[in-house]
Amino acid sequence: MDERDEEFTAFVAARSGPLLRYAYLLTGDHAAAEDLLQSTLVKVYLSWHKIADHRSVDAYTRTAMTRTNISVWRKVGRREYATETTPDQAVDDRHDIDERDGMWALLQTLGSRQRTALVLRFYEDLPEAEIADVMGCSLGTVKSQISRGLANLRKVVPARDEVWERGLGHAG
C-alpha cells in the first residue's frame, strides 16, 4: 500500500461515521446516504493527489458530497423517502435524542434544496456565501432556500409561547 492509500484509508476510518450522518441528513434515506458517501469517497480518492492541504480534506469531501447529491436532484428530480430511524449517534441525554429525532422529522418535511441549505447553515455552520459555493448556486438562492425552509418549519412547529403554555418548555 502506498502513502496515498494509507492516508486515504486513515481518513475514511476516522471520518466515515460523521460523513455518513451528513449524507443521511442530505438524502433522508439510509441506502441513498450510503450510496452518496461511497460515490463521494471514490471521487475524493481519485482527486487525493490534487488536495494540497489534507487538513481541509473533510471540507473538500463534504462539498463534493453536497454537489454529488445536488446532481442527483437535477437528474431525477425531487424524491422524498420516509424513514423510521436515524443513524446511530453517540448521545447521552435522552432529551437530546428526542430533540434530534424531532428535528430530523421536521427536516424530512422539506424539499431537498431547503433541507440541504438548512443542514449546511445550521448543522455545518457555514456562512451563506460558502453554502452558495458548495451548492453551486447564487447567494440569493441560498438565502431564499433558507428563508423558505425556516418559514415551512415554522408552519409545523408550535410557537414557543404555545410550548411553554403546555408545560413542555424547560425552566432555565
- The fraction of the chain above a pLDDT of 90, given in percent, is 34
Rounded to two decimals, the pTM is 0.56
What domains can be seen in the chain, in order of their start residue?
A: 3-165 (1.20.140.160)
SS3 breakdown of the chain: % helix, strand, coil, rounded to 5?
75, 0, 25
DSSP state string for 49-115: GG-S-GGGHHHHHHHHHHHHHHHHHHHH-------S---------HHHHHHHHHHHHHHTTS-HHHH
pLDDT band at 31 (very low <50, low <70, confident <90, very high): very high
Q: What is the pLDDT of residue 97?
A: 54
Assigned C-alpha cell, 11:
481518513
pLDDT band at 2 (very low <50, low <70, confident <90, very high): confident
Mean pLDDT lowest for which of 10-24, 30-44, 81-95, 97-111? 81-95
